Amino acid sequence: MLFNTLVNLRYQQINNILDAFPPEGVETLDQAAYDQLEKLGKNREFLYMSLYNKEGDEFLIYGDSATIVNK
């Protein structure tokens, strides 16, 4: 039960970031966009934030890159 609660909390935090920074409104990822995403992630105590395109390429916002096992 605790695991589900933690997963649901993190999922809600991600949704809050998407509400504050909707992807549909982003044309380019300039320094201001990176700064805003970093602030939103760190305010939720995320240790790492990165974006991925459809090809699986990573765009690191902050933290250490994650290793994707099944790409």
Query: Do 29 and 38 form a contact (C-beta atoms < 8 A)?
Result: no
Question: Domain residue spans in the chain?
Answer: 2-46
CB neighbour list of residue 71: distance below 8 Å, 6 or more residues apart: 56
Dihedral (CA of 39, 70, 11, 24) sign: positive
Q: Please, what is the end-to-end C-alpha distance for the chain in angstroms? A: 29
Which tokens go with 30? 């300039």
Q: How far is the C-alpha of 13 from the C-alpha of 24, rounded, in Å? A: 18
Q: What is the pLDDT along the chain (71 residues), one digit of tens a residue?
A: 799 999 999 999 999 999 999 988 888 889 999 999 999 999 999 999 998 888 988 899 999 987 778 76
pTM, full prediction: 0.79
Beta bridge partners of 52: 58
